[in-house]
């Protein structure tokens, strides 16, 4: 019995050891297997001529990523084991789904069309019968139309007759007036005494008409005077309103100008207060940085950062660039910065400035590898440094 228990415990221990070994192996693979990268880029002086290629692999090309930028277009591809994903794949899937949906809609429309055709074929005998009945009833409809057309012609004729009669009426009236005028003229020549009495009567009539016209003219004058008075009142109202608006604007401007000194003094006080706050914050920051604990922590971080940059430095690095700007001063300034980086970049860097024209041509090739163990090591060293931990706590609690 004891032998069986020991055997079971042995098997369980072997299983645990195998699991732990697999976990340790996976951790070592993640930490120590590097990510290898290769970058190439070139430019011939134009935006269309910019080309770039990036390739990255991990764990014997089990994970592979590639990207290419050319002619203002970016293409990329990612492969993880047997699964692939690339640019434009989502668009293709959308297009396939849209095509399938359109096919389904077309099939439904075709089915509906076939059903409509069958229904029409079933209803066609009834439609033929209706057409025959309408053809039988057509002579009666034609007769009705002829009768209606005759009635409309009679109505038009009846309408034209009174119009022709009315046309001749004004001419008849003119003839009557001319005849009366000739009769009156003959009577004046025959007996002028009677015509004198008639003229007196006409003068009296004209006097009455003149008086009427004078009274109408006086009324018109009174109306015009009344309208002119109203216009004057309206003009005076406008002038008074305009003056009131000008007075209100002047008053508002005066009030704003009177408040300006107070505002200026308030702004100056706020500026002085902010300056005092900034000086206080400046003193706090200097005191924080001047602390010995914080100095040692910053030195530790700087040391680890330099070590990381050395580890991340590419194994292959080759650059050849010819550049120039419209302003020669800017060209020289960039050359001065690049000359400071020469010791770190090595002798495979060739930079040619052009002070006479604007140009950008060149090539770039670099390759290297990145390990996760470098980042883990830095985090481990910083976490076990007492000064770094204290500085981290002080930074969290620091308030200006």
Q: Which of these three, 290, 313, 337, is where a domain ends?
A: 290
The overall average pLDDT reported for the chain is 77
Indicate if 150 and 164 belong to the same structural domain: yes
207 exposure class (CB count in 10 Å sphere: 0-12, 13-18, 19+): exposed
Residue 185 has pLDDT above 80, yes or no: no
Classify the C-alpha dihedral 134-135-136-139 as positive or negative: positive
Residue 86: beta bridge partners?
77
DSSP 34: P
Residue 37: beta bridge partners?
56, 368
Domain count within the chain? 3
Question: Do β-strands 349-353 and 316-324 pair in parallel, antiparallel, or remain unpaired?
Answer: parallel
Question: Is the residue at 238 inside a domain?
Answer: yes
Indicate if 168 and 261 belong to the same structural domain: no
Residue 260 has pLDDT above 70, yes or no: yes
Question: Is the residue at 14 inside a domain?
Answer: no
Question: Is the residue at 6 inside a domain?
Answer: no
Q: Which are the contacts of 310, defined by CB distance < 8 A and separation ≥ 6?
A: none
Indicate if 281 and 222 belong to the same structural domain: yes
Indicate if 160 and 255 belong to the same structural domain: no
Higher pLDDT, residue 22 or 81: 22
388 exposure class (CB count in 10 Å sphere: 0-12, 13-18, 19+): buried
Indicate if 398 and 307 belong to the same structural domain: yes
What is the per-residue pLDDT across 149-178, written as a single tens digit (0 to 9) for each? Answer: 666 666 556 555 544 444 444 445 556 655
Question: Is the residue at 10 inside a domain?
Answer: no
Indicate if 286 and 300 belong to the same structural domain: no
Cβ atoms of 77 and 85 closer than 8 Å: yes
Q: Is 45 left (phi over 0), alpha (psi -120 to 50) or beta?
A: left
Q: Which of these three, 157, 190, 223, is where a domain ends?
A: 190
Other C-beta atoms closer than 10 Å to the C-beta of 391 total 22
Cα separation of 359 and 195, whole Å?
117
DSSP 62: T
Question: Is the residue at 49 inside a domain?
Answer: yes
What is the per-residue pLDDT across 14-70, written as a single tens digit (0 to 9) for each? Answer: 999 999 999 999 999 999 999 999 999 998 877 778 899 999 999 988 999 999 998
Q: Closest by alpha carbon to 68, among 51, 85, 87?
A: 51
Cα separation of 31 and 371, whole Å?
6
The pLDDT of residue 207 is: 47
Q: Closest by alpha carbon to 369, among 75, 26, 77, 59?
A: 59
- E strand spans, 219-377: 316-324, 349-353, 359-370
Indicate if 392 and 308 belong to the same structural domain: yes
Question: Is the residue at 25 inside a domain?
Answer: no
Question: Is the residue at 11 inside a domain?
Answer: no
Cα separation of 40 and 364, whole Å?
6
Higher pLDDT, residue 38 or 121: 38
Indicate if 280 and 327 belong to the same structural domain: no
Indicate if 286 and 306 belong to the same structural domain: no
User: Could you give the percent of the chain with pLDDT greater than 90?
Assistant: 23
Cα separation of 21 and 187, whole Å?
153
Averaged pLDDT, 112-137: 60
Cα separation of 81 and 365, whole Å?
28
**Residue ranges making up the domain that contains 250:** 210-290
Q: Which of these three, 290, 315, 340, is where a domain ends?
A: 290
Question: Is the residue at 253 inside a domain?
Answer: yes
Instruction: Tokens 């481990």: give the residue.
Output: 380
Averaged pLDDT, 95-119: 73
Indicate if 150 and 241 belong to the same structural domain: no
Indicate if 321 and 385 belong to the same structural domain: yes
* pTM, full prediction: 0.53
DSSP 370: E
Q: Which of 8-22, 138-152, 374-388 has the lowest mean pLDDT?
A: 138-152
The pLDDT of residue 326 is: 87
Indicate if 309 and 327 belong to the same structural domain: yes
């Amino acid at each position: 019995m004891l032998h069986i228990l020991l055997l079971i415990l042995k098997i369980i221990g072997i299983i645990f050891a195998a699991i732990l070994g697999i976990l340790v192996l996976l951790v070592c693979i993640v930490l120590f297997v590097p990510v290898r990268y290769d970058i190439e880029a070139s430019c011939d002086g134009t935006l269309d001529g910019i080309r770039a290629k990036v390739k990255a692999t991990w764990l014997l090309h089990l994970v592979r990523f590639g990207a290419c930028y050319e002619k203002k277009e970016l293409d990329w591809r990612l492969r993880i084991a047997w699964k692939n994903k690339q640019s434009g794949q989502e668009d293709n899937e959308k297009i396939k789904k849209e095509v399938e949906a359109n096919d389904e809609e077309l099939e439904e429309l075709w089915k509906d069309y076939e059903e409509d055709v069958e229904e029409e074929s079933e209803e066609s005998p009834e439609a033929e019968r209706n057409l025959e009945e309408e053809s039988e009833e057509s002579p009666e409809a034609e007769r009705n139309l002829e009768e209606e057309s005759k009635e409309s012609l009679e109505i038009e004729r009846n309408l034209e007759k009174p119009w022709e009669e009315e046309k001749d009426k004004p001419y008849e009236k003119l003839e009557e007036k001319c005849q009366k005028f000739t009769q009156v003229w003959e009577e004046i020549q025959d007996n002028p005494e009677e015509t004198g009495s008639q003229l007196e009567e006409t003068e009296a009539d004209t006097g009455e008409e003149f008086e009427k016209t004078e009274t109408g003219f006086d009324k018109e004058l009174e109306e015009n005077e009344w309208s002119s008075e109203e216009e004057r009142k309206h003009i005076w109202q406008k002038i008074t309103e305009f003056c009131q608006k000008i007075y209100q604007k002047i008053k508002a401007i005066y009030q704003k100008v009177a408040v300006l000194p107070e505002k200026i003094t308030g702004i100056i006080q706020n500026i002085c207060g902010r300056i005092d706050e900034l000086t206080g914050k400046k003193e706090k920051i200097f005191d924080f940085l001047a602390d010995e604990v914080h100095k040692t922590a910053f030195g530790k971080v700087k040391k680890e950062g330099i070590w990381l940059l050395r580890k991340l430095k590419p194994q292959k690095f080759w650059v050849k660039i010819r550049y120039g700007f419209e302003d020669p001063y800017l060209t020289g300034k960039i050359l001065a910065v690049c000359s400071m980086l020469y010791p770190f970049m090595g002798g495979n860097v060739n930079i040619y400035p052009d002070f006479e024209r604007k140009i950008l041509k060149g090539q770039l090739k670099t390759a290297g590898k990145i390990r996760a163990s470098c980042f883990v090591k830095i985090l481990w060293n910083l976490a076990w440094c007492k000064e770094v931990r204290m500085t981290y706590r002080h930074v969290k609690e620091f308030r200006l």
